[in-house]
Structure 1
């Protein structure tokens, strides 16, 4: 009974759907013995985002939740302010475009001139003046219980997902307390977090008591986007980059990485942690926790 509960996704607001049409494709190949084998591989497709009449970027994505991806991307790039009135989000599947319309015309040509390639996969983009949005930022001092962290890691790592089905993908999960709420996946971790930002913007969800959990590296881009969203804590199974740690410390973000079983490392925002769980009581993670041999 316990096993079934851990794999249940009915209490997620949005959960991965590994069997969804168009997200994966069956491909036949040959294994190390030369035998024919068929596996699921992740689909990639371009999505061009427009803000009013101006083309902003073309991103490679798996194609689900294009409206949230567009909203979140523009929000995290500082192109949509917190008080901006969005009058429409129009997606055209045939043209593979999303047009976000606002009540007030915008002009971001200068930002487009500063566009740079990031270290993220899947053609991630970030603008040179994105750091400006962090000036004067104060994140809420919401306590973060280690018992909740352990519960989240266990639950998320056992949730059916495209990662477990096919690999080659990143996941980002919006959490509250010990409950995962919205689980997004994409070929780039920045796309996954932008989808969550877009969902939060569309639903008016407050960030103050939330935690962002990601399967990917804790890079500067992930730290910046989490802080821009107003979320006070970011956690991951993976490791850190030096600039990511530096920025997290500058903005007061709690940054936790290398979460494996009973172990984790906190490199920023230790003051938020409430150590209410005995690490020795947390089960060690099996070396092959990820079933089906999937690899991101």
Structure 2
């Protein structure tokens, strides 16, 4: 079941500010909402690991997803305990291995992962979808973007099967949205393998590597992918779909996953 952001939660992720709009030759003063941001630090075994600029929603999922994406944990079973405090802007994570050697403290903006890789494992999947199913999912995806509709200025990602959306995450950082999806799936026991990944932003090679970690064989965006992302997707067996809007889309790799035999 998709969990949407409730109205009462919006105060934590969006702020009302004054704005002066110019339209049709006139100025109008009006209140608007803008996305809020916070510096959030993850401590592992009492050592500061990373400070992330993020949106204050689903922070527990962000923590677990980040640790998993960076290879610090292989699953939720590696975590002995976790305390997340929005007020203190921190997460205190204790691993079952107290002697785990952590890398130096990093500070990340909205750009995402601190680990740079150029290759990923191949995604082994039989999943296929029709263009009509993908476009229908994108339509529902865009309808569920509550924070974006309120304030703009955020990215959104969702995990789905071929018929419905499963979970959704919004954040000022593209990579944060995927980490939140991954973390929620780990904590709730939701399988990511053989699913579709829907995102609003540009598809970069880093985003593709996160998709590979989730073993999602179809990645769909409203925007275009980078050249490196296309090369990676081809090698990893991922169907890379871009420019999915209204009644059209473009498939850059493995079109057979969308029923195209060319």
Using structure 2 for the length normalisation, give the TM-score: 0.89
Matched, 1:248 2:233: yes
- Matches for 1:133-148 after TM superposition, within 5 Å: 134=120, 136-148=121-133
Distance (whole Å) between structure 1 residues aligned to residue 135 and residue 37 of structure 2 = 33
Matched, 1:127 2:115: yes
Hey, what does 1:229 align to over in structure 2?
A: 214
- How far the C-alpha of 1:160 sits from its partner, in A, is 4.9
Q: In 1, are the aligned partners of 2:110 and 2:173 still within 8 Å (CA)? A: yes
Name the stretch that deviates more: 53-62 or 169-178: 53-62
Distance (whole Å) between structure 2 residues aligned to residue 16 and residue 258 of structure 1 = 26
- How far the C-alpha of 1:131 sits from its partner, in A, is 4.7
> Which of 258, 270, 293 is residue 243 of structure 2 equivalent to?
258
Distance (whole Å) between structure 2 residues aligned to residue 248 and residue 207 of structure 1 = 17
Unaligned 5+ segments in structure 2 are none
Hey, what does 1:38 align to over in structure 2?
A: 31
Q: In 2, are the aligned partners of 1:18 and 1:165 still within 8 Å (CA)? A: no
- How far the C-alpha of 1:70 sits from its partner, in A, is 0.6
Distance (whole Å) between structure 2 residues aligned to residue 265 and residue 19 of structure 1 = 38
Hey, what does 1:291 align to over in structure 2?
A: none
**In angstroms, what is the RMSD of aligned CA positions?**
2.1
Hey, what does 1:64 align to over in structure 2?
A: 57
Distance (whole Å) between structure 2 residues aligned to residue 85 and residue 200 of structure 1 = 15
Q: In 1, are the aligned partners of 2:219 and 2:241 still within 8 Å (CA)? A: yes
Matched, 1:15 2:8: no
Matched, 1:196 2:185: no
Hey, what does 1:94 align to over in structure 2?
A: 87
Aligned partner of residue 126 in structure 1, secondary structure: coil
Aligned partner of residue 30 in structure 1, secondary structure: strand
Hey, what does 1:166 align to over in structure 2?
A: 151
Measured at CA, do residues 262 and 123 of structure 1 come closer, stay the same or move farther in structure 2, by a change above 3 Å?
Answer: closer
Hey, what does 1:215 align to over in structure 2?
A: 200
- How far the C-alpha of 1:83 sits from its partner, in A, is 7.4
Distance (whole Å) between structure 2 residues aligned to residue 70 and residue 257 of structure 1 = 28
Q: In 2, are the aligned partners of 1:76 and 1:229 still within 8 Å (CA)? A: no
Matched, 1:156 2:150: no
Using structure 1 for the length normalisation, give the TM-score: 0.80
Q: In 2, are the aligned partners of 1:44 and 1:60 still within 8 Å (CA)? A: yes
